[in-house]
Structure formats: C-alpha cells, structure tokens
C-alpha cells in the first residue's frame, strides 16, 4: 500500500469515526500535511480550550512517525514553546500499526497525565511535581489566553 493510500484511509477513518475530543484533516488539500484539533478534557486545566496541531507526513509513513507539533501555545512539561511534543510514540516507540487517531488519543492522554520524569520543559515539570495547584492555575491561564475561541 502506498503512503497516499494509507493516508487516504486514515483520513476517511478520522471523518467517519474520530476519537473523542479530536479531529483532523488535510491542510490546503495536501494529503501530506494535516491540521488536528484537540478539545481540552472536562475537569482538567485545559477544559474549554481548542488546541491546534500540525502533522506532516513523510514518504516513509507509516514506518516513520509524522512530524507533529502544537500550533496553539500550551503550558505543559512535555510540550515546549515551539510546540514540540516529547512523547515516546513520536520517537523510538512508533509503530506502523499506529494511526493518526491513536496518536491524537495518546496526546490527549499526555495532556491529562503529564510525564514530569521525561520533561521537555524542566521548569514546568518541577512546578508540576512541587506545586500541582499552581501548575493547574498556570495551565488554565494559558488555556484561557491562547486556546479559547
């Protein structure tokens, strides 16, 4: 199966049965570049937020992960100010069995349960470990400022 065929199948799956609080589709009709949207989970610091991500696929997809980054600023120990995401399945634990839908669900899980022991932003990870209440307040502040429509 070609990369384009695989991406078309995943695009159809995303349109027919998107993961909870997620959506994704081609950007400018380019099958190799998608925009994804994640809605912040209820009762979390990102509730009410709409977070946009950019996904770029190479000709090696699905054998290599897509390049995935947040466009919307977010306060999170595993996501830096450039939107780069520290998530194992975007690196060494990628598998061709994974799909865009599964990737977005993993990012949702990371948003709800940060991994402060493998931070991309150590200062935010320290805050998460030492003062979760203040971390939540800062995350809510960012969400209100950058992620509300």
- Show which residues are catalytic: 86
The per-residue b/e assignment along 58-69, b for 16 or more CB within 10 angstroms, e otherwise, is eeebbeebbebb
Cα separation, 54 vs 72, in Å, equals 10
Q: Where are the beta strands (DSSP E) in 16-128?
A: 22-27, 30-39, 50-56, 67-70
Cα separation, 65 vs 122, in Å, equals 25
Question: Which tokens belong to 91?
Answer: 């690196």
Q: Which of 129, 134, 130, 87 is nearest to 106 (CA)?
A: 87
Euclidean distance between the first and the last CA atom of the chain, given in angstroms as a whole number: 39
């Amino acid at each position: 199966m070609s990369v384009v065929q695989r991406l078309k199948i995943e695009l159809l799956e995303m349109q027919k049965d998107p993961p909870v609080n997620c959506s994704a589709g081609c950007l400018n009709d380019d099958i190799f570049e998608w925009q994804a949207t994640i809605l912040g989970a209820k009762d979390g610091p990102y509730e009410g937020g709409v977070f946009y991500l950019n996904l770029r696929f190479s000709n090696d997809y699905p054998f290599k992960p897509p390049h995935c980054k947040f466009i919307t600023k977010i306060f999170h120990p595993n996501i830096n100010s450039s939107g780069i995401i520290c998530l194992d399945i975007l690196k060494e634990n990628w598998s061709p069995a994974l799909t865009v839908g599964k990737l977005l669900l993993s990012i949702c899980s990371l948003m709800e349960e940060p991994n402060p022991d493998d931070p991309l932003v150590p200062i935010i990870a320290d805050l998460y470990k030492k003062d979760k209440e203040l971390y939540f307040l800062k995350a809510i502040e960012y969400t209100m400022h950058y992620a509300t429509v």
